[in-house]
Structure 1
Amino acid sequence: MELTVYLAGEIHTPWREEIKTLVSEKELPISFVSPQTNHDLSDDIGAQILGKQPNKYFHDDAASSINNLRTEVMMKKSDIVIALFGEEYKQWNTAMDASRAVAEGKPLIIIRPEKLIHPLKELSNKANVVCESVEQAVSVLEYIYQ
């Protein structure tokens, strides 16, 4: 049985590659999808497809529509969602993706540092598993196959 895992979270650290490497080392039959991780492409996709927008609001709105469509398609095709909340960056998109997973009934693993226990308490309560490292999240995935 092959699983598809949606990797939601910040795009500034290599955590996705760390998960992929660990999964590969364990030879788990898992494929991965994610939101658009090319920040410039994500920000400008609306203008690239729909044309130059009259101002920043419409520029962002056009990009958001296309990014939300992409995210919805990728998440619907996934079996599990892993949402990483890092320590350094604002996590608005991660929270939105994790909330969407809960609303769609997708199994959700949250990775978050100890200092985010309080701000993420309600969302963590809705997750299937909450852990503090990518290694722990991969161990959860590995357990599915044991």
Structure 2
Amino acid sequence: MSWKVYLSGEIHTDWREQIIAGAEELKLDIEFYSANTDHESSDAAGDHLRSNDVPFWRDHQSSKVNAIRTKNLIKQCDIGVVRFGDKYRQWNAAFDAGMLAALDKPFITLHDEGIIHPLKEVDAAAMAWAETPQQIVEILRYVTNN
């Protein structure tokens, strides 16, 4: 069985690449998907629809276009991994975790110990909480090979 894993959340570090490389090294049968991680093009996703001088409306328009991708990929995934970094508030990651939970999709959270308290409800819905990308790879190894 080929597994589909959706990688959600923080875009400022290489955690996605570490997970993908670890899965490839173990030859896991996994296809990885994620939202657009290029900040500039994500922010501009709806610019072709209408010019907006007000930042709120530009963000609103682009977030809806981006949601076409994320909603579909989350619905198609077998497992979600939701990364919360400590530098930025990732409201989109929390929303993705909520979607995964609402769709009864198993997901794993990935974050440092320092933000356990604000994520307690999200972690309660997750199947596991990991602190490193390598721990995610080990979970994926176990789940996909056993």
TM-score, normalised via structure 1 length: 0.95
Structural RMSD (CA): 1.0
Aligned to 1:30: 30
How many pairs are equivalent? 145
Does 1:41 find its partner at 2:41?
Answer: yes
Matches within 5 A, 1:1-146: 1-48=1-48, 50-144=49-143, 145-146=145-146
Alignment partners' CA distance in 2, 1:46 and 1:29: 34
TM-score, normalised via structure 2 length: 0.95
Please give the secondary structure, in 1, of the residue aligned with 2:44. helix
The CA deviation at 1:87 is 1.9
The CA deviation at 1:131 is 1.4
Deviations 1:69-115 (A, max 9, x none): 11101111111000011122211111111111111111110111111
Gapped regions of structure 2 (runs ≥ 5): none
Alignment partners' CA distance in 1, 2:54 and 2:120: 37
Paired residue type of 1:39: H
Alignment partners' CA distance in 2, 1:137 and 1:11: 17
Paired residue type of 2:9: G
Alignment partners' CA distance in 2, 1:109 and 1:24: 19
